Structure 1
Amino acid sequence: MIPVYINSAACISVQDTLNENFLQNLNPENSVLVLKAIEPNYKEFIPPAMSRRMSKTVKMSSVASKYALKEAGIKNPDAIIVGTGMGCSQDSEKFLKNVLDNNEEFLTPTFFIQSTHNTVSGQIALALQCHAYNFTYVNTSSSLEFSFLDAKLQINDGEAENVLVGSTDEQTERTMELYKLNNTIKKEENLPADYLNSTTEGVIWGEGSSFFVLGKEKTEHSYAQLKDIQILNKVELDKTQKFIEDFLTKNNLTNEDIDAVILGFSGDAKSDVYYKQAMDLFPNSALLYYKHLSGEFNTASGFSTFMACHILKNQEIPEVMMINSIKKEDIATILLYNHLGGSDHSLVLLEKA
């Protein structure tokens, strides 16, 4: 297998992650039900006439992908692969509202055309005039992981040398209302949220866009080596540790070889039990969490991958992410474990480049 490196990482999130000094200014949030992304000044990146026709997720992705390509020194990637859970839901809502308001008559097709999930990867390709492989994965919380897996296969099969991989999800007013009604989002009376020892169900919802350039060659910008990915739709609670151990064994590792574990604690008491099971497997590793910084959403693992890349490159763990007090002098291997509401479990293994 050819080594695959993450040669750049860019992120737009509820933190100011486009700022070079963002690690010093991470601001946890546990008292707001819905967290909004800190957006850049789009006029600097996208012509205003185009920007007006773009939904938030397309704009965030356009900027994050430009940052990622610029950092990697790549003008045109050999493939563009995007993972999204909800796609362009703003335009989907606008189209459905038009259907209702106009009694299904005299509809303009614009919102429908722009509401498809692959609008993001298509718009990036149009801007770059890139005619290469272009694919979108819609697999709830494992959308980014499937995108990584595809990119890894493209590179290993010799189909591509540099692949732009991204994840993106936006919020919409109506969807957030529905999430509050079905208790996906916490109730006001259950705030502030306790992410690590929650006794209530529901989460604080976020949004964001993360992009990475994966390449077959290690560069001076390389953050990490993407070693392996494992995805499983359902895992029995008492099989959580076996799920992780089997993955480590496959990679000739034990739990003692993992320097840091990033867990997706979301403050949902019902589904966070999986992470508590996983914690017990790593008594000598640095245990970290991140959704108090990003919020929960379908592709929140993009934020954790972005943070893992910076931890490996800088060899420093932000205090605000630490669950335990274990600090390793050399952080060589990081394991990321994530799921959404107890479904679509994913493991990602990263090593220092």
Structure 2
Amino acid sequence: MSAVYINSASCISVQDTLKENFVQDLTPEQSVQILKAVEPNYKEFIPPAMIRRMSKTVKMSSVASHHALKEAGIEKPDAIIVGTGMGCSQDSEKFLKNVIDNNEEFLTPTFFIQSTHNTVAGQIALGIQCHAYNFTYVNTSSSLEFSFLDAQLQINDGEAKNVLVGAADEQTNRTMELYCLNNTIKKEEDLPADYLHSETDGVIWGEGAGFFVLGKDKTEHSYAKLKNIQISNRVNPEELQMFLVDFLANNNLNNEDIDVVILGFSGDAKSDIYYTKAMDSFQNSALLYYKHLSGEFNTSSSFSTFMACHILKNQQIPDVMMINSERKNEIKNILLYNHLAGSDHSLMLLERA
């Protein structure tokens, strides 16, 4: 499959990533259980009457997609593809609460309609009056990667020239309570979290939205070339080295050709073993981590992809992301490796545009 170009990148996260020169103000978050996204003034982008009916995921995605399309200089893409792990869970909780409060009678369908996972892609399409291919992927932590793969196929098959691709997830009170109860989220006594050398289970949970425009042709704004993606639901720790080597070999590369590796260390001692093992394969590469800046959530790889795009374009690595002291004079190839709680492993290879 031929490579495609990432021609714009926009992100709303727990960092203020919408502003210019945001890299200078990246701040690690290690002492709270749940991180909230830094939200823009939605009134600048969305009519006030519509804002009241939108969930946080839809609002974040609408603004992030607006920025991505504007940066790419595109009014209407040839396709809209969105990935999400939890969808519009705020409206899902509201609907279920109504079911319980009203004894399953006299229910208004609004919250149910707005709670479906494809609401985000649909609302973006409605906002820009785009009647093209519209699809949503719900594949936990590899939702963005599946969306990228679909966009790559659409472009390679000649079905589209420019594709808006994004991923978003929000938090809801009840879900966060349940995550605390089942120890998905770290206990307060285990904070501050040590992301790289954790001895406790659980993560700090975040949220956010990242959107990109993928195109067939390179432009003056291009951030990176998306070379390849590989996804595996299960990888045994002893199979990890082969998982990495095979992926690189399929792209005619070896470990020495990778200038930067971005790993998804989450502070969960049980599942971070994969990243620790992966580090052994890239002794001569710059090793980075990012979830101390974004928190863990289903589509947190949108944040790492956004950061990788800026690293390739600016040829600079933020010190706050560094694990080791290795730095290359030129950054050409970046490998991103992510999973969620030891499942849905994804590898993404980006090359300097």
- The corresponding residue for 2:36 is 36
Q: Are residue 348 (structure 1) and residue 321 (structure 2) matched?
A: no
Cα contact 2:289–2:323 (8 A) shared by 1:
yes
- The corresponding residue for 2:95 is 95
- The corresponding residue for 1:278 is 278
- The corresponding residue for 2:156 is 156
- The corresponding residue for 2:323 is 323
Cα contact 1:10–1:68 (8 A) shared by 2:
yes
Question: 1:39-62 CA deviation, whole Å, 9 max, x = no partner?
Answer: 000000000000000000000000
Mapped partners of 1:50, 1:306: distance in 2: 28
TM-score (norm 1): 1.00
Q: Following TM superposition, by how much is the alpha carbon of 1:2 offset from its aligned partner in structure 2, in angstroms?
A: 3.5
Gaps of at least 5 residues in structure 2 are none
- The corresponding residue for 2:259 is 259
Question: 1:255-275 CA deviation, whole Å, 9 max, x = no partner?
Answer: 000000000000000000000
- The corresponding residue for 1:314 is 314
Map 1:220-239 → 2, pairs under 5 A: 220-239=220-239
Mapped partners of 2:91, 2:169: distance in 1: 13
Mapped partners of 2:20, 2:217: distance in 1: 25
SS at match of 1:124: helix
- The corresponding residue for 1:65 is 65
Q: Following TM superposition, by how much is the alpha carbon of 1:109 offset from its aligned partner in structure 2, in angstroms?
A: 0.4
SS at match of 1:335: strand
Q: Which runs of 4+ in 1 moved over 6 A?
A: none
Cα contact 2:2–2:227 (8 A) shared by 1:
no
Mapped partners of 2:283, 2:56: distance in 1: 41
Letter in 1 for 2:82: V
- The corresponding residue for 1:190 is 190
Letter in 2 for 1:122: G
TM-score (norm 2): 1.00
Q: Following TM superposition, by how much is the alpha carbon of 1:21 offset from its aligned partner in structure 2, in angstroms?
A: 1.3
Mapped partners of 2:115, 2:268: distance in 1: 30
Mapped partners of 1:155, 1:244: distance in 2: 26
SS at match of 1:229: strand
Identity %: 81
Letter in 2 for 1:172: T
SS at match of 1:200: coil
Q: Are residue 123 (structure 1) and residue 151 (structure 2) matched?
A: no
SS at match of 1:303: helix
Cα contact 1:164–1:214 (8 A) shared by 2:
yes
> How many residues align structurally?
353
Question: 1:296-319 CA deviation, whole Å, 9 max, x = no partner?
Answer: 000000000000000000000000
Cα contact 1:13–1:207 (8 A) shared by 2:
yes
Q: Following TM superposition, by how much is the alpha carbon of 1:3 offset from its aligned partner in structure 2, in angstroms?
A: 3.1
Cα contact 1:2–1:216 (8 A) shared by 2:
no
- The corresponding residue for 1:204 is 204
SS at match of 2:160: coil
Mapped partners of 1:294, 1:214: distance in 2: 23
Mapped partners of 1:328, 1:316: distance in 2: 10
Cα contact 2:230–2:347 (8 A) shared by 1:
yes
Cα contact 1:85–1:143 (8 A) shared by 2:
yes
Letter in 1 for 2:274: Y
Map 1:16-35 → 2, pairs under 5 A: 16-35=16-35
Cα contact 1:140–1:299 (8 A) shared by 2:
yes
Cα contact 2:3–2:228 (8 A) shared by 1:
no
Cα contact 1:85–1:141 (8 A) shared by 2:
yes
- The corresponding residue for 1:104 is 104
